[in-house]
Amino acid sequence: MKGKGYIKLLAAIIVIAILGVVALVGVNKDHAMSARDVKLGLDLAGGVSITYETVKEDPTADELNDTVYKMQKRAEAFSTEAQVYPEGDRRITVAIPDITDADEVLEQLGDAGNIYFVYGMSDKGVANISTSTDPVSGETKYVLARSMDEIIADGDVVVDGSHISGADAQIVTDQIGRRMNVVSLSFNGPGTSRFATATGYCAGYSTGDLHNIIAIIYDNEVVSAPGVMSAITDGKAQIEGQKTYEEANILATTIRIGALPLELSVLRYYVESAKLGLDALTTSLIAGLIGFILIIVFMIAFYRIPGLASALALLFYIELMIICLNVFNVTLTLPGIAGIILSVGMAVDANVIIFTRIREEIGSGKTVRSAIKVGFHKALSAIVDGNVTTIIAAIVLFALGSGTVVGFAQTLGIGVILSMLTALLVTKFILGGFHDIGCNKIALYGSKKDKPAKPFVKHFPKFLCVSAACIIVGIVGVCMNYSKYDAPFNYGLDFAGGTATSITFDDGIPADAQSRIEKLVLDTVNEKAELSTVSSENMITVKTKELSTENRALLTKAFEDEFGITDENLSTTSVGSTVSGEMKRDALVAVIVATICMLVYIWIRFRNINFAVAAVVALIHDVLIVVALYAIDSAGITVGNTFIACLLTIVGYSINATIVIFDRVRENLAENHNRYTNAEIVDKSITQTFSRSINTSLTTFIAVLFLAIMGATSVKEFAIPLIVGIIAGTFSSICLTGGLWYTLQKKFKKEA
């Protein structure tokens, strides 16, 4: 038996070591699958992110996809790591890392790609195109013989993108039955007239003569050079000669890209300094490492051998998480790091549930081996139900969120799934190995006897009063905010709209910096500035109404000249009023959708609507407590994009603790046989799970606390409300949910 145990532990250690090497070093010279290969978001790597919206209200799917393709090609001119992706039916987001000149990007990206149909030979006898032979393949192709500026200046452009209304690849049959791959073109009114004149001229020359050719130029390259067989006067033409349908489709797509009629307007943009991102990444990782070490120390000190097994399993989990970020190509952002650290804290929860069950089984007289087996079995339903509800929150965030919130949802979702599998499989495997090598003494695991039940139901009215007082404080804060901000909360840029520039001073904030900045903003762009200072980071953030690209460039230059800093010390965000309004709406929708989904899931799993209603009421309580924090202006936390992620994280986390208690209530009800009243069952269930509730909350609290102390400003604005949410969720799970269920059961159901 000992030999088998040593083999188990050796296998676990080898796997953890191999995964550790992969996570730290990678699998090849490019460090693939390692931590350094994880794709970093712009808030960590620095760069520019711009979101455009089409002026046209109902663009077709082809138009939007062609625009994405065109923008990708444009963005790759700035960086091969650029990403372009659609958001919804009308929006396109462009993310370009390692770029600081946002003005150049904004100026060039939004312009439509230019495509030109030009005469092969001008009427002055000057060739616009010529042939060139590839020295490797020997293929002859057409190239520009002179620049497009010269061609345009001489009036040799037949039509451009503004004259083309459509281009599609088709397969047609000619007069003798041959199938041909062609590109069908259509022109608008002015284009039809110009094309008719040009084709009438070109058709008068023989095939092969440059006068007979109308060349198609995109981005200074000849993409096709068809000859003209006859004058085309109806605005419809076909380009023949493509060998395959794919070749015809590429040409049609290229023409559509250049001829795209969509006009784009800038909705929001972010310019992040790589220096600021690196500092934020470093402090967040250090905070996470400290929290992780303290969690491991706590688990080993409190749970002994099971705690050591969970520590090894958590290490395995972290390594696997890094590899999964690479496998699923997740872009890691600051909120994403917060999601990982939070999921580490939640990963402990499954282990705590299992270990608590093992101690109870040992306390009931079972052997350690039997207790381990039964403990994992009895903990299964609570672990699955709790994690599924958190995954629901992550799915809602991913579906309804945007930007960094999506990154948070990805890391949280992946983290929760991995943590559940790690606890149920890896921890069990390692714990079995420790038992088999002789670590089977009860003292190494601990024993837990049933304690007298505490009267939680009796004190339920008092707990309600405490909650009501906290919520009333939030209501008072909302009323005061209306008088100060003309809004219920101090909305951040994401929700209020506008332009914000963060200035970081290398040698500390100058004493007169605020007055100089206020005067500089007023003199440069004629706007009143709202300033906020983060002394620990030597940073001042300047908020104004939404600035134009020109004014933003002027203000950036003024800051650089005034304080002798570079663009590495500046990061800028601009959000339009349309986007800010949508974000407020999305926040409300996300919380409502997540709550409804959880309500339905709990109802189905527990087959009792009172469990679901009690759980959801407790969730609403937790949300209101956190909202109260946001409403208290002295807390200094603005309501922004992370507000959505914070609320849904709290919803997902809090429901986890509630489900563990309800799972025990369900179990005790099944074993009751009319020996106890519902109130006694509730008190007994909460008492049995009390240590689990406190220990899980404590470990998650530790993980988030160091983020709040050491993290970057954006992470602190996420971590501080999360701490309040953890406390509120623990309170509601222990003190409110059982009493709520008992009250509903008493009113609508008979005694068990």
Confidence of residue 532 (pLDDT cuts 50, 70, 90): confident
Q: Two tokens at 464? A: 């309600």
Measured at the CA of 50, the angle between CA 44 and CA 51, to 5 degrees, comes to 125
Confidence of residue 104 (pLDDT cuts 50, 70, 90): low
pLDDT value at 195 more than 90: yes
- Placement of tokens 């220096």 in the chain: 275
Gap between the Cα atoms of 289 and 23, Å rounded: 15
* Overall pTM surpassing 0.75 (yes/no): no
Confidence of residue 74 (pLDDT cuts 50, 70, 90): low
Report yes or no: 328 and 470 within 8 Å, Cβ to Cβ.
no
pLDDT value at 251 more than 80: yes
Average pLDDT over residues 357-382: 91
pLDDT number for residue 101: 64
Gap between the Cα atoms of 582 and 255, Å rounded: 34
Burial of 437 (0-12, 13-18, 19+ CB in 10 A): middle
Q: Which residues pair with 52 in a beta bridge?
A: 92, 266
Evaluate the CA torsion angle 413, 414, 415, 419 in order and state its sign: positive
Gap between the Cα atoms of 152 and 118, Å rounded: 9
Side chain identity at residue 180, one-letter code: M
Assign residue 636 a region (left: φ > 0; alpha: ψ between -120 and 50; beta: otherwise): left
Q: Which residues pair with 86 in a beta bridge?
A: 92
- Placement of tokens 């939404």 in the chain: 546
Confidence of residue 565 (pLDDT cuts 50, 70, 90): confident
618 vs 538 pLDDT, higher one: 618
Burial of 512 (0-12, 13-18, 19+ CB in 10 A): exposed
Side chain identity at residue 630, one-letter code: Y
Instruction: Tell which residue, 729, 533, 543, has the closest CA to residue 624.
Output: 729
Average pLDDT over residues 321-343: 81
Average pLDDT over residues 572-584: 64
pLDDT in tens, 137-174: 778 889 999 998 899 999 999 998 878 888 888 998 87
Gap between the Cα atoms of 214 and 203, Å rounded: 10
Gap between the Cα atoms of 215 and 346, Å rounded: 63
Evaluate the CA torsion angle 313, 318, 321, 326 in order and state its sign: negative
> 69-78: which pairs have CB atoms within 8 A and are 24 or more residues apart?
69/253, 69/257, 70/112, 70/113, 70/257, 70/260, 71/109, 73/113, 73/219, 73/257, 74/108, 74/109, 74/113, 75/109, 77/108, 78/105
Which helix (H) or strand (E) covers residue 471, if one does? helix 460-485
Q: What are phi and psi of 146, to 5 degrees?
A: -150, 175
Report yes or no: 527 and 547 within 8 Å, Cβ to Cβ.
yes
- Maximum mean pLDDT: which of 89-93, 128-132, 704-708: 128-132
SS3 126: coil
Average pLDDT over residues 637-666: 79
pLDDT number for residue 120: 94
Average pLDDT over residues 605-622: 88
pLDDT in tens, 722-743: 888 889 999 999 999 999 999 9
Gap between the Cα atoms of 45 and 596, Å rounded: 37
Side chain identity at residue 549, one-letter code: T
Q: Which residues pair with 183 in a beta bridge?
A: 169, 239
End-to-end Cα separation, the chain, in angstroms: 46
Gap between the Cα atoms of 205 and 354, Å rounded: 86
Strands, sheet with 530-534, edge to edge from the N-terminal-most edge strand: 83-87, 91-97, 47-54, 264-272, 570-575, 498-504, 539-544, 530-534
pLDDT number for residue 232: 93
Q: What are phi and psi of 452, to 5 degrees?
A: -60, 135
Gap between the Cα atoms of 698 and 745, Å rounded: 31
Determine which of 169-183, 540-554, 564-578, 709-723 has the lowest per-residue pLDDT on average.
564-578
Task: Count the neighbouring beta carbons within 10 Å of the beta carbon of residue 171.
Answer: 10
pLDDT number for residue 752: 42
Confidence of residue 277 (pLDDT cuts 50, 70, 90): low
pLDDT value at 717 more than 80: no
pLDDT number for residue 690: 92
Beta strands in 407-552 (DSSP E): 498-504, 530-534, 539-544
Average pLDDT over residues 603-627: 88
pLDDT number for residue 289: 84
Report yes or no: 722 and 647 within 8 Å, Cβ to Cβ.
no
Quote the mean pLDDT of the chain: 84
Gap between the Cα atoms of 235 and 193, Å rounded: 8
pLDDT number for residue 629: 87
pLDDT value at 415 more than 70: yes
Average pLDDT over residues 482-505: 78
- Taking each helix axis as running N to C, give the angle between helix 609-631 and helix 737-748, from 0 to 180 degrees, rounded to the nearest 10: 140
Confidence of residue 15 (pLDDT cuts 50, 70, 90): very high
Rg of the chain over Cα atoms, rounded to whole angstroms, equals: 32
Q: What is the DSSP letter of 330?
A: P
Report yes or no: 347 and 314 within 8 Å, Cβ to Cβ.
yes
Q: Two tokens at 256? A: 């559509």
Give residue 277's Cα distance to chain centre. Answer: 16
Report yes or no: 375 and 393 within 8 Å, Cβ to Cβ.
no
Percent of the chain residues past pLDDT 90, beyond the cut: 29
pLDDT in tens, 18-59: 999 999 898 888 888 898 888 887 777 777 888 888 877 888
Note the residue count of the chain.
752
Instruction: Tell which residue, 612, 671, 622, has the closest CA to residue 646.
Output: 622
pLDDT value at 751 more than 50: no
Gap between the Cα atoms of 395 and 389, Å rounded: 10
Average pLDDT over residues 216-220: 84
Confidence of residue 460 (pLDDT cuts 50, 70, 90): very high
- Placement of tokens 């069952």 in the chain: 681
